[in-house]
Chain A
Amino acid sequence: MSEEVAAEGHGPRTEPSDGSEADLVSGADEPLLSVENLTTQFDTGEGVVRAVDGVTFEIREGEILGLVGESGCGKSVTSRSLMSLVPSPGSIVDGRVEFQGEDLLERSEEELRQVRGQDISMIFQEPMSALNPVFDVGWQIGEPLRVHENLSTAASRTRAVELMQRVGIPSAEDRVDAYPHQFSGGMRQRAMIAMALACEPDLLIADEPTTSLDVTIEAQILEIIEELNERQNMAVFLITHDLGVVAEVCDRVAVMYAGRIVEYGDVVDVFTDPRHPYTKGLLDCVPDPRRQQESFDPIEGQVPDLVSPPAGCNFAPRCPFASRDCERTDPSLREVDDDHYSACIWEDPS
């Protein structure tokens, strides 16, 4: 941690209180899932890519946490790391993923299988490739029940129909025999959600669940997710690139850039009073459907190459507020307001 203190008109940098970043972020109550210093890297031919670089956040019981960022920022790798589903050549090299007080990264593959689909389930962006084309939908929705709750084939089918009704699939008792290719995109995503819900998980990880869908269908799917969150008190970890979706459904949000969480807090706080220059820039370039903007303020430049990330702050090369300190100091998350964290040397750049 650097001792340098920046002046130049901006709020001076206050040194974080002693203790690690992780202690800082932890709330008072025991969270449902707490992620500490999670680090996942990929050994590629060009070098080691730290796709997730010391990420810390937590998901409280019954809340919807959004993880937002542009492509390649490490969102999906983060979500997969939580379930130890990082594809080769990636591996989790550091950190803890504590779910209901136990570290998931310590568990064996067999133990993890007990968790997946039962306590934590996951839905993906491409429902067509996530569903098996050769089994009918009812069989697939009932599968977690047969695996985790030892239900018979007939009983799992009956439950599958109920689940399909719950996510608003019309004529579920008929469609239970249909195959994925007979479903539309929105209907497939509903089937995925039904499958994820089968064992009434405490946490649903939704990785870009509406990205491939039209706005009208997207609205339907988001409504289902919100509804289930409220009715079953199921926490949701929603990964998306769409700030509009986050604003619509999330309680809290983590903004990710180049493998790091750069801002984290209540959605209203982060969106109305963004403290990290990246969040500000991102919000500025989202087109607002409610008015015609004179021009946009795009963030200049490109996302850094993670094989050789910039020294100091990852965002410094593109940041309009960057100073010399930014090239030397690698800022970590610190509290800038009540339950609002930013990883910038400025408390409030503007």
Chain B
Amino acid sequence: MSTEPLLRLEGVTKHFLQNDDLLSRLRPDREVTTVRAVDGVDLSVEEGTTLGLVGESGCGKSTLAETVLQLLEATEGAVYYRGEDLTEYTDAQRRAFRSEAQMIFQDPFSSLNPRYTVERTLVEPMAVHGIGDSRADRADRAAELVERVGLGAEHLDRHPHEFSGGQRQRVAIARALAVEPNLVVADEPVSALDVSVQAQILNLLRELRAEMDLTILFISHDLSVVRQICDEVAVMYLGQVVERATTEAVFEDPQHPYTEVLVSSIPTPDPTDDREKITLTGDVPTPIDPPSGCRFHTRCPAVIAPDDWDHGQDVWRRALRFKELVADGDVRPAAMREQLAAGGGSPDDDDVAEALLEEHVVEGGLTDSDTVSVPGPVREVLLEALSMLVDGDRAAAQDRLDEAFSSVCESQIPAHYEVGDGHTAVCHLLDDDHAGDWDSPLASVDR
């Protein structure tokens, strides 16, 4: 790239240590675990643009934002602001940087000092950063600011508790703008607000952005808001960016299955809308021990099957999910035996294995349509593994399943693929070898 973007992240990583206190260290039986909140993120934000950072809760969005602003120290990697590495800054430099970059938080109830009037809230950061020549000048600036964010001069001597949620968020925005920053990190700025107020704040952010030529890093779990305000979007999953593109491309032509799922799950306020939906199974895995290969493979609707697999995607995903359950120790023959015995009779090993197969593979969902018929050869392998499990040999069961069902998605980390101008995604499906391995249920809709 010829010109340096305003903000550039290179391999930014933030790990938190759990149980890392003195007491635990004195106890060798307690292990220090690492939570990989953010794991190797490369991103760049051009001056004057708005980048949306989206993902489910716990995917590391907020941690990444705080690391960008140096509120958290990065474990690894570098954050360049106008070409200078922030992680190398001295304390004084860092303080000066705070007048360049400001943050707006989600909850305007806890992010404002309840003892400060609006005027003091706005004047204090100016005084700290040496903006304005005198008290009177700063007070004038504060009065101008409150008007700019849609409040009146009469609000200057009020305290936060006298305001509604939307008004408080306006005050929070005014405070962020008080030091005339270039970069604003907005962490879920409208999530706590009602829709009618949310629309007011979104309009305000749009106006201010144009007026002050702000660069915004906009963090949100709400994709419909992101669509309205962002130029580009980065989708995060378990601490990593899985897709990055213009907003238009992310919504109209998503390349990563996770992005497709997110886009398809947004409820639209249109009862006549009958878009296809992809519902994910399961929860987000823990970032303490993220899945191998592609981190999304445990929930992905498009896990790649080996070339010689001819039992269909449904059965394939069930088999893989079952393997995952066994590995996590979530398939418990003893509990099932108890359950069967409670229903009457004395179940033998085969009954237990059959019942577990029925629950974890065949049914796998709520509706009858979620029930799959498992073809003979697959069933045989599963029952074989289950009987090993019933005998108490989990390792053998796992080996048997590994041998029979393995996917490139769990064994290899996918590369970054450039699919268009500034559009990158991290997924094996984009490799030429696997192109066309998945027919997205959404593909027919509007592509």
Contacts and interface: CB of A to CB of B under 8 A. Distances in A.
Contacts of B198: 285, 287
Contact of B332 (A154, A165, A174): A174
A215 interface: yes
Given A70-B194, A171-B332, A295 B268 contact: no
A243 B270 CA distance: 9
B381 to A, nearest CB: 20
A272 interface: yes
Nearest to A168: B366
Interface stretch (A92-100, A219-227, A326-334, A335-343): A219-227
A111 interface: no
A50 interface: no
B72 interface: no
Contacts of A227: 366-367
A171 B330 contact: yes
Interface in B245-300: 247-248, 251, 261-263, 265-273, 277, 279-284
Interface stretch (A15-23, A51-59, A139-147, A296-304): A296-304
Interface stretch (A33-41, A82-90, A115-123, A244-252): A244-252
A170 B325 contact: yes
B111 interface: no
A214 B228 contact: no
B338 to A, nearest CB: 7
A173 interface: yes
B280 A288 contact: no
A289 B338 CA distance: 48
B410 to A, nearest CB: 19
Contacts of B284: 184, 214
Interface in A165-189: 165-168, 170-174, 176, 184, 186-187
B279 A219 contact: yes
A295 B228 CA distance: 9
B134 interface: no
Nearest to B368: A231
A170 B360 contact: yes
Contacts of B271: 246-248, 250, 267-268, 271-272
Interface stretch (B75-83, B87-95, B173-181, B200-208): B200-208
A161 interface: yes
A286 B195 contact: yes
A262 to B, nearest CB: 14
A324 interface: no
B442 to A, nearest CB: 13
Interface in A213-245: 214-220, 222-224, 227, 241-245
B196 interface: yes
A318 to B, nearest CB: 9
Nearest to B332: A174
B315 interface: no
A199 interface: no
Contacts of B359: 165, 172-173
Given A158-B342, A215-B221, A282 B272 contact: no
Contact of A173 (B273, B283, B339): B339
Given A173-B335, A173-B336, A247 B196 contact: no
Contacts of A217: 56, 283
Nearest to B321: A170
Interface residues on A, range: 35 or more
A172 B363 CA distance: 13
A283 interface: yes
Given A247-B271, A282-B195, A285-B198, A292 B228 contact: yes
Given A219-B265, A244-B266, A285-B199, A71 B194 contact: yes
B57 interface: yes
A227 B263 CA distance: 22
Contacts of B335: 171, 173-174, 176
Most buried by A among B194, B196, B360: B196
B225 interface: yes
B325 A171 contact: yes
A242 B267 contact: yes
A268 B265 CA distance: 20
B266 A215 contact: yes
Given A289-B263, A292-B247, A223 B366 contact: yes
A245 B224 CA distance: 13
Contacts of A293: 228
Nearest to A287: B224
A340 to B, nearest CB: 13
A174 B265 contact: no
B197 interface: yes
Among A161, A218, A289, A298, residue most surrounded by chain B Cβ atoms (within 10 Å):
A289
Interface string B314-351: 00000000000100001110011011001100000000
B203 A298 contact: yes
A244 B197 contact: no
Contacts of A172: 359
Contacts of B325: 170-171
Given A247-B271, A272-B271, A215 B262 contact: yes
A245 B267 contact: yes
Nearest to A302: B164
A289 B32 CA distance: 42
Contacts of A271: 269-271
Contacts of B273: 247
Nearest to B202: A296
A216 B265 contact: yes
Contacts of A215: 56, 221, 223, 262, 265-267
A287 B227 contact: yes
Contacts of A296: 199-200, 202-203, 228
Given A218-B265, A289-B224, 20 more contacts: A171-B330, A171-B331, A171-B360, A214-B56, A215-B221, A216-B56, A219-B277, A244-B266, A247-B271, A281-B196, A285-B199, A287-B222, A287-B227, A287-B228, A288-B224, A289-B268, A290-B268, A292-B228, A296-B199, A298-B199
What are the 7 tightest A-B residue pairs by CB atom distance, in nearest-first order? A244-B267, A285-B199, A289-B224, A298-B199, A296-B199, A243-B269, A70-B194
20 contacts: A161-B339, A215-B56, A215-B223, A217-B56, A219-B280, A248-B268, A248-B271, A268-B271, A271-B270, A271-B271, A285-B199, A286-B269, A288-B269, A290-B268, A292-B248, A295-B206, A296-B199, A296-B202, A298-B200, A302-B164
Interface of A: 70-71, 154, 157-158, 161, 165-168, 170-174, 176, 184, 186-187, 214-220, 222-224, 227, 241-248, 250, 267-268, 271-272, 281-283, 285-293, 295-299, 302
